[in-house]
Homo-oligomer: A and B are copies of this chain.
Amino acid sequence: MRSRIERVIVTLVKERIDAFLITKAANVRYLSGYSGEDAILFITHKRRFFITDSRYALQARKDTKGFTVKIIKSTLTETVRDLARALKVRRLGFECNDLTHAQHERLVRTLPGTEIVPVSDIIEKLRQIKDAGEIRLIRRSVSILERSLIRFKTMLMPGLTERDLAAELEHFIKASGGEKSSFDIIVASGSNSAFPHARPTNRRIKSNDMVLLDLGVECEGYNSDLTRVFFLGKINPRTKKIYGIVKEANRRSIKAIRPGVEIFKIDEIARGFIRKRGFGAYFGHALGHGIGLEVHESPSISGRNHTVLKPGMVFTIEPAVYLPGRGGIRIEDMVLVTKKGCEVLTDGIYK
Protein backbone atom coordinates (compact mmCIF):
# COMPACT_ATOMS: atom_id res chain seq x y z
CA MET A 1 0.00 0.00 0.00
CA ARG A 2 2.75 2.44 0.98
CA SER A 3 4.60 2.16 -2.34
CA ARG A 4 1.33 2.57 -4.24
CA ILE A 5 0.66 5.86 -2.47
CA GLU A 6 4.24 6.96 -3.06
CA ARG A 7 3.74 6.47 -6.79
CA VAL A 8 0.58 8.55 -6.67
CA ILE A 9 2.49 11.30 -4.85
CA VAL A 10 5.14 11.37 -7.59
CA THR A 11 2.42 12.41 -10.04
CA LEU A 12 0.94 14.92 -7.59
CA VAL A 13 4.31 16.62 -7.19
CA LYS A 14 4.78 16.69 -10.97
CA GLU A 15 1.34 18.27 -11.47
CA ARG A 16 1.86 20.69 -8.56
CA ILE A 17 -1.17 19.28 -6.73
CA ASP A 18 -0.91 19.80 -2.96
CA ALA A 19 -3.64 17.35 -1.97
CA PHE A 20 -5.67 14.68 -3.76
CA LEU A 21 -9.22 13.70 -2.86
CA ILE A 22 -9.81 10.04 -3.75
CA THR A 23 -13.50 9.17 -3.90
CA LYS A 24 -13.79 6.10 -6.13
CA ALA A 25 -14.35 3.02 -3.94
CA ALA A 26 -11.97 0.70 -5.84
CA ASN A 27 -9.21 3.32 -5.65
CA VAL A 28 -9.80 3.85 -1.94
CA ARG A 29 -9.44 0.11 -1.45
CA TYR A 30 -6.34 -0.09 -3.64
CA LEU A 31 -4.50 2.57 -1.64
CA SER A 32 -5.77 1.93 1.88
CA GLY A 33 -6.87 -1.70 2.05
CA TYR A 34 -10.28 -0.58 3.36
CA SER A 35 -13.00 -2.73 1.88
CA GLY A 36 -16.10 -0.92 3.14
CA GLU A 37 -18.28 1.74 1.59
CA ASP A 38 -18.67 5.49 1.94
CA ALA A 39 -15.06 6.43 2.61
CA ILE A 40 -12.68 8.76 0.85
CA LEU A 41 -8.96 9.48 1.07
CA PHE A 42 -7.28 12.86 1.35
CA ILE A 43 -3.59 12.58 0.51
CA THR A 44 -0.96 15.28 0.67
CA HIS A 45 2.73 14.89 -0.12
CA LYS A 46 3.33 14.03 3.53
CA ARG A 47 0.09 13.02 5.20
CA ARG A 48 -2.71 10.53 4.67
CA PHE A 49 -6.26 10.98 5.88
CA PHE A 50 -9.11 8.51 5.79
CA ILE A 51 -12.55 10.19 5.92
CA THR A 52 -15.74 8.29 6.69
CA ASP A 53 -18.90 8.58 8.79
CA SER A 54 -19.69 7.15 12.19
CA ARG A 55 -21.14 3.92 10.76
CA TYR A 56 -17.68 2.88 9.55
CA ALA A 57 -15.53 4.41 12.29
CA LEU A 58 -14.76 1.10 13.96
CA GLN A 59 -13.99 -0.75 10.71
CA ALA A 60 -11.83 2.12 9.45
CA ARG A 61 -9.67 2.17 12.57
CA LYS A 62 -9.30 -1.61 12.30
CA ASP A 63 -8.57 -1.85 8.54
CA THR A 64 -6.42 1.11 7.63
CA LYS A 65 -2.76 1.54 8.53
CA GLY A 66 -0.76 4.72 8.16
CA PHE A 67 -3.91 6.84 7.84
CA THR A 68 -5.34 9.38 10.24
CA VAL A 69 -9.05 8.57 10.49
CA LYS A 70 -11.41 11.58 10.37
CA ILE A 71 -15.08 11.04 11.16
CA ILE A 72 -17.48 13.36 9.32
CA LYS A 73 -19.24 15.61 11.84
CA SER A 74 -21.61 17.63 9.64
CA THR A 75 -20.99 17.18 5.89
CA LEU A 76 -18.26 15.59 3.84
CA THR A 77 -17.55 18.85 2.01
CA GLU A 78 -17.04 20.71 5.29
CA THR A 79 -14.69 18.00 6.55
CA VAL A 80 -12.64 18.33 3.36
CA ARG A 81 -12.69 22.13 3.66
CA ASP A 82 -11.40 22.04 7.23
CA LEU A 83 -8.55 19.71 6.26
CA ALA A 84 -7.65 21.74 3.18
CA ARG A 85 -7.54 24.93 5.24
CA ALA A 86 -5.57 23.43 8.10
CA LEU A 87 -2.98 22.07 5.66
CA LYS A 88 -2.91 25.24 3.53
CA VAL A 89 -3.81 23.40 0.33
CA ARG A 90 -3.70 25.71 -2.71
CA ARG A 91 -4.34 23.17 -5.46
CA LEU A 92 -6.71 20.32 -4.59
CA GLY A 93 -7.03 17.42 -7.07
CA PHE A 94 -10.21 15.35 -7.37
CA GLU A 95 -11.25 12.31 -9.41
CA CYS A 96 -13.22 13.87 -12.24
CA ASN A 97 -14.46 10.49 -13.49
CA ASP A 98 -16.07 9.81 -10.13
CA LEU A 99 -17.19 13.06 -8.50
CA THR A 100 -20.59 14.18 -9.79
CA HIS A 101 -21.19 17.60 -11.25
CA ALA A 102 -23.14 18.61 -8.13
CA GLN A 103 -20.42 17.40 -5.73
CA HIS A 104 -17.81 19.31 -7.71
CA GLU A 105 -19.88 22.50 -7.58
CA ARG A 106 -20.26 22.12 -3.82
CA LEU A 107 -16.50 21.71 -3.43
CA VAL A 108 -15.80 24.82 -5.50
CA ARG A 109 -18.33 26.83 -3.51
CA THR A 110 -17.03 25.65 -0.14
CA LEU A 111 -13.36 26.25 -0.94
CA PRO A 112 -13.32 29.63 -2.68
CA GLY A 113 -9.60 30.23 -2.17
CA THR A 114 -8.51 26.81 -3.43
CA GLU A 115 -7.98 25.75 -7.03
CA ILE A 116 -9.96 22.55 -7.67
CA VAL A 117 -8.10 20.45 -10.25
CA PRO A 118 -9.64 17.58 -12.24
CA VAL A 119 -7.47 14.45 -12.17
CA SER A 120 -8.12 11.30 -14.15
CA ASP A 121 -6.62 7.87 -14.47
CA ILE A 122 -3.56 8.26 -12.18
CA ILE A 123 -4.63 5.38 -9.96
CA GLU A 124 -6.42 3.51 -12.75
CA LYS A 125 -3.14 3.37 -14.67
CA LEU A 126 -1.24 2.03 -11.67
CA ARG A 127 -3.98 -0.56 -11.22
CA GLN A 128 -3.52 -1.82 -14.79
CA ILE A 129 -0.32 -3.58 -13.72
CA LYS A 130 -1.04 -6.21 -11.10
CA ASP A 131 1.57 -7.05 -8.48
CA ALA A 132 2.29 -10.55 -7.15
CA GLY A 133 -0.24 -10.28 -4.32
CA GLU A 134 -2.99 -9.20 -6.67
CA ILE A 135 -2.22 -11.97 -9.15
CA ARG A 136 -2.37 -14.48 -6.30
CA LEU A 137 -5.87 -13.31 -5.38
CA ILE A 138 -7.01 -13.36 -9.01
CA ARG A 139 -5.69 -16.93 -9.34
CA ARG A 140 -7.58 -17.92 -6.20
CA SER A 141 -10.73 -16.37 -7.64
CA VAL A 142 -10.21 -18.29 -10.91
CA SER A 143 -9.74 -21.53 -9.02
CA ILE A 144 -13.10 -21.11 -7.23
CA LEU A 145 -14.58 -20.19 -10.61
CA GLU A 146 -13.23 -23.42 -12.08
CA ARG A 147 -14.79 -25.50 -9.32
CA SER A 148 -18.07 -23.64 -9.81
CA LEU A 149 -18.07 -24.58 -13.48
CA ILE A 150 -17.54 -28.23 -12.64
CA ARG A 151 -20.50 -27.98 -10.28
CA PHE A 152 -22.53 -26.33 -13.04
CA LYS A 153 -21.74 -29.14 -15.46
CA THR A 154 -22.97 -31.76 -12.99
CA MET A 155 -26.26 -29.86 -12.56
CA LEU A 156 -26.90 -29.03 -16.18
CA MET A 157 -29.77 -31.16 -17.39
CA PRO A 158 -33.23 -30.65 -18.85
CA GLY A 159 -35.91 -29.54 -16.38
CA LEU A 160 -34.10 -26.99 -14.22
CA THR A 161 -34.72 -23.31 -14.89
CA GLU A 162 -32.02 -20.74 -15.64
CA ARG A 163 -32.81 -19.13 -12.29
CA ASP A 164 -32.41 -22.43 -10.42
CA LEU A 165 -28.98 -22.91 -11.94
CA ALA A 166 -27.86 -19.36 -11.20
CA ALA A 167 -29.07 -19.52 -7.58
CA GLU A 168 -27.32 -22.83 -7.01
CA LEU A 169 -24.07 -21.47 -8.43
CA GLU A 170 -24.22 -18.36 -6.25
CA HIS A 171 -24.61 -20.60 -3.24
CA PHE A 172 -21.80 -22.88 -4.34
CA ILE A 173 -19.41 -19.91 -4.76
CA LYS A 174 -20.01 -18.79 -1.19
CA ALA A 175 -19.70 -22.32 0.14
CA SER A 176 -16.38 -22.64 -1.72
CA GLY A 177 -14.72 -19.64 -0.12
CA GLY A 178 -15.55 -16.93 -2.66
CA GLU A 179 -17.05 -13.75 -1.23
CA LYS A 180 -19.80 -13.74 -3.84
CA SER A 181 -20.25 -13.74 -7.59
CA SER A 182 -18.56 -10.75 -9.19
CA PHE A 183 -21.75 -9.78 -11.02
CA ASP A 184 -25.26 -11.12 -11.57
CA ILE A 185 -24.64 -14.59 -12.99
CA ILE A 186 -25.78 -15.05 -16.59
CA VAL A 187 -27.39 -18.40 -17.41
CA ALA A 188 -28.99 -18.00 -20.84
CA SER A 189 -30.47 -20.97 -22.63
CA GLY A 190 -31.68 -21.32 -26.20
CA SER A 191 -32.46 -18.02 -27.89
CA ASN A 192 -32.02 -16.12 -24.58
CA SER A 193 -28.28 -16.36 -25.22
CA ALA A 194 -28.68 -13.78 -28.00
CA PHE A 195 -28.86 -11.11 -25.26
CA PRO A 196 -25.21 -10.30 -24.44
CA HIS A 197 -26.21 -9.38 -20.87
CA ALA A 198 -29.13 -11.76 -20.37
CA ARG A 199 -30.66 -12.27 -16.95
CA PRO A 200 -31.69 -15.74 -15.79
CA THR A 201 -35.38 -16.41 -16.48
CA ASN A 202 -37.80 -19.12 -15.43
CA ARG A 203 -37.24 -20.86 -18.77
CA ARG A 204 -36.55 -24.55 -18.22
CA ILE A 205 -33.52 -26.14 -19.86
CA LYS A 206 -34.61 -28.43 -22.72
CA SER A 207 -32.84 -31.33 -24.35
CA ASN A 208 -30.76 -30.17 -27.31
CA ASP A 209 -30.52 -26.70 -25.74
CA MET A 210 -27.44 -24.58 -25.78
CA VAL A 211 -26.70 -22.81 -22.50
CA LEU A 212 -24.43 -19.81 -22.11
CA LEU A 213 -22.87 -19.30 -18.67
CA ASP A 214 -21.09 -16.05 -17.76
CA LEU A 215 -19.74 -16.15 -14.26
CA GLY A 216 -17.24 -14.39 -12.02
CA VAL A 217 -16.07 -14.84 -8.45
CA GLU A 218 -15.00 -12.14 -6.03
CA CYS A 219 -12.21 -13.10 -3.69
CA GLU A 220 -10.88 -10.50 -1.20
CA GLY A 221 -12.04 -7.81 -3.59
CA TYR A 222 -10.47 -9.32 -6.72
CA ASN A 223 -12.61 -10.62 -9.54
CA SER A 224 -12.67 -13.22 -12.27
CA ASP A 225 -14.87 -13.45 -15.35
CA LEU A 226 -15.45 -16.35 -17.73
CA THR A 227 -18.00 -17.31 -20.36
CA ARG A 228 -18.62 -20.77 -21.75
CA VAL A 229 -21.37 -22.23 -23.92
CA PHE A 230 -22.58 -25.75 -23.23
CA PHE A 231 -24.62 -27.99 -25.50
CA LEU A 232 -27.11 -30.59 -24.33
CA GLY A 233 -27.47 -33.26 -26.94
CA LYS A 234 -27.34 -32.41 -30.62
CA ILE A 235 -25.69 -29.28 -31.91
CA ASN A 236 -27.26 -27.54 -34.87
CA PRO A 237 -24.65 -27.42 -37.70
CA ARG A 238 -24.91 -23.64 -38.12
CA THR A 239 -24.38 -23.11 -34.39
CA LYS A 240 -21.44 -25.49 -34.51
CA LYS A 241 -19.92 -23.45 -37.32
CA ILE A 242 -20.35 -20.19 -35.39
CA TYR A 243 -18.92 -21.77 -32.26
CA GLY A 244 -15.84 -22.73 -34.26
CA ILE A 245 -15.45 -19.19 -35.62
CA VAL A 246 -15.74 -17.58 -32.15
CA LYS A 247 -13.32 -20.07 -30.67
CA GLU A 248 -10.81 -19.44 -33.42
CA ALA A 249 -11.18 -15.65 -32.97
CA ASN A 250 -10.52 -16.14 -29.25
CA ARG A 251 -7.44 -18.31 -29.98
CA ARG A 252 -5.97 -15.97 -32.57
CA SER A 253 -6.26 -12.80 -30.51
CA ILE A 254 -4.81 -14.51 -27.43
CA LYS A 255 -1.89 -15.78 -29.50
CA ALA A 256 -0.98 -12.21 -30.43
CA ILE A 257 -0.85 -10.91 -26.84
CA ARG A 258 2.62 -9.90 -25.70
CA PRO A 259 4.29 -6.78 -24.25
CA GLY A 260 4.69 -3.94 -26.74
CA VAL A 261 1.65 -4.70 -28.88
CA GLU A 262 -0.99 -1.96 -29.12
CA ILE A 263 -4.36 -3.04 -27.76
CA PHE A 264 -6.47 -2.08 -30.79
CA LYS A 265 -4.52 -4.64 -32.82
CA ILE A 266 -5.63 -7.46 -30.51
CA ASP A 267 -9.24 -6.35 -30.91
CA GLU A 268 -8.85 -6.19 -34.67
CA ILE A 269 -7.48 -9.74 -34.93
CA ALA A 270 -10.65 -11.24 -33.43
CA ARG A 271 -13.00 -8.76 -35.07
CA GLY A 272 -11.38 -9.05 -38.48
CA PHE A 273 -11.58 -12.83 -38.34
CA ILE A 274 -15.27 -12.82 -37.42
CA ARG A 275 -15.93 -10.18 -40.10
CA LYS A 276 -14.19 -12.24 -42.77
CA ARG A 277 -16.36 -15.23 -41.89
CA GLY A 278 -19.43 -13.07 -42.48
CA PHE A 279 -20.60 -12.39 -38.91
CA GLY A 280 -19.06 -8.96 -38.30
CA ALA A 281 -22.47 -7.34 -37.84
CA TYR A 282 -23.25 -9.69 -34.96
CA PHE A 283 -20.28 -8.80 -32.75
CA GLY A 284 -21.01 -5.32 -31.44
CA HIS A 285 -19.08 -4.96 -28.19
CA ALA A 286 -15.40 -4.54 -27.34
CA LEU A 287 -13.20 -7.65 -27.32
CA GLY A 288 -12.52 -7.45 -23.59
CA HIS A 289 -11.82 -5.43 -20.47
CA GLY A 290 -9.26 -5.13 -17.72
CA ILE A 291 -10.25 -6.91 -14.50
CA GLY A 292 -9.08 -6.70 -10.90
CA LEU A 293 -10.72 -4.79 -8.05
CA GLU A 294 -13.44 -3.95 -10.57
CA VAL A 295 -14.96 -6.41 -13.02
CA HIS A 296 -14.60 -3.81 -15.77
CA GLU A 297 -11.55 -1.63 -15.40
CA SER A 298 -8.76 -0.18 -17.48
CA PRO A 299 -7.51 -1.15 -20.04
CA SER A 300 -10.50 -1.63 -22.30
CA ILE A 301 -9.60 -4.10 -25.04
CA SER A 302 -11.24 -2.12 -27.80
CA GLY A 303 -10.53 -0.97 -31.31
CA ARG A 304 -9.98 2.58 -30.09
CA ASN A 305 -7.40 1.87 -27.39
CA HIS A 306 -3.82 2.59 -28.50
CA THR A 307 -2.31 1.67 -25.11
CA VAL A 308 0.64 -0.69 -25.36
CA LEU A 309 0.47 -4.04 -23.54
CA LYS A 310 2.71 -4.45 -20.50
CA PRO A 311 3.61 -7.41 -18.28
CA GLY A 312 1.23 -7.67 -15.33
CA MET A 313 -1.88 -6.55 -17.19
CA VAL A 314 -4.88 -8.83 -16.64
CA PHE A 315 -7.90 -8.68 -18.94
CA THR A 316 -10.58 -10.71 -20.66
CA ILE A 317 -10.79 -11.80 -24.28
CA GLU A 318 -14.41 -12.42 -25.22
CA PRO A 319 -15.29 -12.49 -28.90
CA ALA A 320 -18.91 -13.31 -29.65
CA VAL A 321 -21.56 -13.70 -32.31
CA TYR A 322 -25.19 -12.93 -31.41
CA LEU A 323 -28.00 -13.82 -33.78
CA PRO A 324 -31.21 -12.12 -32.57
CA GLY A 325 -34.03 -14.60 -32.04
CA ARG A 326 -31.70 -17.56 -32.46
CA GLY A 327 -28.94 -17.41 -29.89
CA GLY A 328 -25.46 -16.21 -29.12
CA ILE A 329 -22.01 -17.69 -28.69
CA ARG A 330 -19.41 -15.96 -26.51
CA ILE A 331 -16.14 -17.51 -25.39
CA GLU A 332 -14.42 -15.51 -22.70
CA ASP A 333 -11.05 -16.12 -21.10
CA MET A 334 -8.82 -14.17 -18.75
CA VAL A 335 -5.20 -13.54 -19.66
CA LEU A 336 -2.16 -12.24 -17.78
CA VAL A 337 0.45 -10.50 -19.90
CA THR A 338 3.87 -12.02 -19.13
CA LYS A 339 7.38 -10.93 -20.10
CA LYS A 340 7.32 -12.77 -23.42
CA GLY A 341 3.66 -13.36 -24.19
CA CYS A 342 0.68 -14.19 -22.02
CA GLU A 343 -0.70 -16.81 -19.70
CA VAL A 344 -4.34 -17.81 -20.11
CA LEU A 345 -5.49 -17.84 -16.48
CA THR A 346 -8.67 -19.70 -17.37
CA ASP A 347 -7.01 -22.26 -19.62
CA GLY A 348 -8.29 -25.79 -19.52
CA ILE A 349 -11.70 -24.83 -18.12
CA TYR A 350 -14.21 -26.52 -20.47
CA LYS A 351 -12.90 -25.11 -23.70
Contacts and interface: CB of A to CB of B under 8 A. Distances in A.
A196 interface: yes
Contacts of A118: 101-102, 105
Number of identical protomers: 2
Interface residues of A, number: 42
Contacts of A175: 167
Interface centre among A55, A56, A59, A101 (most CB of B within 10 A): A101
Interface in A50-82: 53-59
A303 B324 CA distance: 52
Contacts of A56: 195-197
A191 to B, nearest CB: 10
Contacts of A15: none
B285 A195 contact: no
A110 interface: no
A55 B96 contact: no
B98 A100 contact: yes
B102 A100 contact: no
A184 interface: yes
A204 interface: no
Given A101-B104, A104-B101, A174-B163, A37 B197 contact: yes
A228 to B, nearest CB: 18
A120 B102 contact: yes
Interface string A276-288: 0000000011000
Contacts of A174: 163, 166-167, 170
A179 to B, nearest CB: 9
A36 interface: yes
A55 B284 contact: yes
Interface in A175-220: 175, 180, 184, 194-197, 199
Contact of A101 (B54, B55, B99, B166): B99
30 contacts: A35-B199, A36-B197, A37-B197, A53-B284, A53-B285, A54-B284, A55-B196, A55-B285, A56-B195, A56-B196, A56-B197, A57-B284, A58-B194, A58-B324, A59-B197, A96-B101, A96-B105, A97-B101, A98-B100, A99-B101, A101-B101, A101-B104, A101-B118, A102-B120, A105-B118, A167-B174, A168-B171, A170-B170, A171-B171, A180-B184
Given A55-B196, A167-B174, 20 more contacts: A35-B199, A36-B197, A55-B285, A56-B197, A58-B195, A58-B324, A96-B101, A96-B102, A96-B105, A97-B101, A98-B100, A99-B100, A101-B104, A101-B118, A105-B118, A163-B174, A167-B171, A167-B175, A170-B174, A171-B171
